[in-house]
A = this chain, B = another copy of it.
Amino acid sequence: MQDNEKAGKFDFPRPLTTVDVVIFTIRGEALQVLLVQRPAAEGEPFPQTWALPGGFVDVAKDRDLEACAGRKLKDKTGVTSPYLEQLGSWGNAVRDPRGWSATHAYFALMADVPGAASLATDAQWFPIVGGKIRQKLAFDHGEILSAAIQRLRSKVEYTSLPAYLMPAEFTLPDLQRVYEIVLDRSLEKSAFRTRILAADLIEPIAKMRRGPNRPAQLYRLKKGKEPVYFVRTFNPPE
């Protein structure tokens, strides 16, 4: 190794290094994930197949892994996510036909972008039904997506993560619905409200949401709020 060092390089083969981002949102009463279609060019692995947004780390452009993830997210959605966390890494000899590769996977939560204006043209939202997605994904992205869904669900049991899936202003029933969508089971209203309000996570604003029924108080996330960890999970199934 010392000799390599003196020569200013390392001769052993290096794995490919990529970053992929699992981007979740809530649209149309469903949890959805953003996928991009792989290019059709010959020589590209998995042409035309849907995949997680991601790609090679650019050692010139990317200061660090998280910046790289943020860049790919911005490229595809036009926005920066209010929540970005590392999910894990997947690396082995066979996941990419181009050689030994390791990907650093992130997962991001964002409110539904109102106009699909800023979405990249090759990107599209796909609903998650029954904890799965219909499409067969490129590489091992199906596995990565499953891990992301599992992580999201398990954290939603005892954290305030769904707050990052909400638009700037929302009601408590809105928030509860999002919890229920992600967990795929209903929660008890009264316990839910007590818990969220006790968490000092959101604050009421001087506005109500009106509808064909009793108006609901609008809230916003307290600014600079880190996710809150509850000491108990929600009523665990069975």
**Chain A positions near chain B (C-beta within 8 angstroms):** 1-2, 5-6, 10, 12-17, 41-44, 56-59, 63-65, 86, 88-93, 98-100, 102, 104, 231-233, 236
Number of copies of chain A assembled together: 2
Point out the residue from B10, B41, B100, B104 that lies within 8 Å of A91, measured CB to CB. B104
Point out the residue from B5, B17, B43, B231 that lies within 8 Å of A14, measured CB to CB. B17
* Complex: chain B residue closest to A58, CB-CB: B12
Bound Cα distance A128, B14 (Å): 34
* Complex: chain B residue closest to A236, CB-CB: B231
A59 adjacent to B2 (CB under 8 Å): no
Chain B: minimal CB distance from A161 (Å): 15
Bound Cα distance A100, B64 (Å): 9
List 13 additional contacts besides A14-B14, A63-B93; criterion CB under 8 Å: A1-B44, A2-B43, A2-B44, A5-B44, A6-B43, A12-B58, A13-B59, A17-B102, A57-B102, A64-B91, A86-B89, A89-B89, A231-B233
B93 adjacent to A59 (CB under 8 Å): yes
Known contacts A93-B64, A231-B232; A98 and B14 CB within 8 A of each other: no
B104 adjacent to A92 (CB under 8 Å): no
Chain B: minimal CB distance from A225 (Å): 19
B1 adjacent to A43 (CB under 8 Å): yes
Bound Cα distance A237, B7 (Å): 54
Contacting residues, chain B, for A91 (C-beta < 8 A): 17, 57, 64-65, 104
Chain B: minimal CB distance from A37 (Å): 16
Between-chain CB contacts (< 8 Å), 17 pairs:
A1-B41, A2-B42, A2-B43, A2-B44, A5-B43, A10-B98, A12-B58, A12-B59, A14-B59, A15-B17, A17-B17, A57-B100, A59-B93, A63-B93, A86-B89, A102-B102, A102-B104
